[in-house]
Amino acid sequence: MFLAWRACWIFLATATNLRSLPPPRNARPPPPALRAAAATAAHHPASASPLALYAWDAFPAWTDPLLAESHGIFVALQHAAAAAAAAAAEDDTGAGVAPSLGETAPGGRGVGALSRARVVDASRHYRATIHAQILALKDREARLAEALAVADADGDTSAAAVAEQELADAADQSLLYESAELIWHLVEVFFIAAPSSGLIAPLLLDWLQLHVPVDGVLDVASAPAPLAHPDFWFVIQRLVLQGRMDTARELIGSVTSQDMAELDLLSVTAEALGSMPLPSPASPLTEYLPAWKAWHDSVAAMVASSPDVQSHPELSNIFALLLGSETALVNAATSWYELLVARMLFVDPAVKIHDVKSHTAPAIAAVEGDDPALRSVDLVLLAVMNRDIHTTLRYCVALIGSHWFVAHLTDLLAHVGAIESFALGFGTSLREFFLLEYGLKLMSSRHHWQLAATYFSHAPSLGAAHMAALLETTPHPTAAKTRKLINTALFHGLPRLATSIRAVRARAYLDANALVPALSWYLAARSPTAVSAVADRIIDLAIATDALPDLHMLDALGPDLVVSERLAFLAKYREFDVLSRAGDLATAATLLAKLLASHIVPRRLVLPLLRQAVPLLEAPDALFSAQETYALMAVLADVSHDHRSPPTARVDAQLISLALSRNLARALLDTPIPTKPHLAASSAPPSHPASHKPPAPNASSSVFNVTISADRFHRV
| 197-212 pLDDT per residue, tens | 667 899 999 999 999 9
345: pLDDT strictly greater than 70? yes
Residue of 169, 181, 219, 248 lying closest to 36 (CA atoms): 219
Residue 178 within any structural domain of the chain: yes
DSSP structure class, residue 93: T
Give φ, ψ of 636 to 5 degrees: -65, -40
Residues in Cβ contact with 360 at an 8 Å cutoff, skipping those fewer than 6 apart: 336, 340, 382, 385, 386
Q: How far is CA 161 from CA 172, 266, 421, 550, in A?
A: 17, 52, 50, 58
- Find the domain containing 196 and state its range: 2-207+383-412
Of 360, 394, 412, at which residue does a domain stop? 412
Distance (Å, rounded) from C-alpha 175 to C-alpha 591? Answer: 77
Whether 642 is in a domain gets the answer no
Q: How far apart are CA 311 and CA 317, in angstroms?
A: 10
Distance from C-alpha of 298 to C-alpha of 216, rounded to nearest angstrom = 31
pLDDT confidence bin for 558, thresholds 50/70/90 = low
Whether residues 369 and 328 fall in one domain: yes
Answer yes or no: do 19 and 84 share one domain: yes
Same domain, 186 and 166: yes
- Asked which of 593-602, 653-662, 672-681 is least confident by mean pLDDT, the reply is 672-681
DSSP per-residue codes, 522-547: HHHTT-HHHHHHHHHHHHHHHHHHT-
Residues 270 and 334 in one domain: yes
Range from 383-397, 542-556, 593-607, 645-659 that averages highest in pLDDT: 383-397
Mean pLDDT of all residues in 305-322: 89
Q: Is the domain of 169 the same as that of 36?
A: yes
Maximum Cα–Cα distance across the chain: 152
One domain for residues 128 and 261: no
Rg value, the chain, Cα: 44
For residue 574, is it within any domain?
no
Do 236 and 223 share a structural domain? Answer: yes
316 & 263 share domain: yes
- pLDDT value of residue 683: 40
- pLDDT at position 26 is 35
Q: Does residue 216 belong to any structural domain of this protein?
A: yes
Q: Mean pLDDT score of the chain, rounded to an integer? A: 79
* Alpha-carbon span 605 to 627, nearest angstrom: 22
Same-domain status, 66 and 197: yes
Q: What is the pLDDT of residues 458-504, one digit of tens each?
A: 998 888 888 888 888 888 888 888 898 899 889 888 899 899 999 99
Most confident of the ranges 90-104, 297-311, 607-621, 692-706: 297-311
User: Picking from 31-35, 450-454, 535-539, 654-658, which range would have the lowest pLDDT averaged per residue?
Assistant: 31-35
Please give the C-alpha separations between residue 653 and each of 9, 202, 610, 620, 650, in angstroms, as whole numbers: 75, 100, 9, 21, 5
Residue 698 within any structural domain of the chain: no
Instruction: Kindly state the percentage of the chain with pLDDT values over 70.
Output: 77
Give the pLDDT confidence of 429-448 residue by residue, as tens digits. 889 999 999 999 988 887 88
Q: Residue 220: is its pLDDT beyond 60?
A: yes
Question: How far is Cα 608 from Cα 573, in angstroms, rounded to an integer?
Answer: 12
Query: 331 and 276 in one domain?
Result: yes
* 169 assigned to some structural domain: yes
Number of domains the chain contains = 2
Q: Are 112 and 184 in contact (CB under 8 A)?
A: no
Assigned domain for 47 exists: yes
Among candidate residues 403, 350, 399, 357, the one with its CA nearest the CA of residue 377 = 399
Q: Is residue 581 part of a domain?
A: no
CB 409 within 8 A of CB 184: yes
Whether residue 315 sits in one domain with residue 219: yes
Q: 103 with 220, same domain?
A: no
Residues 6+ apart with CB under 8 A from 537: 515
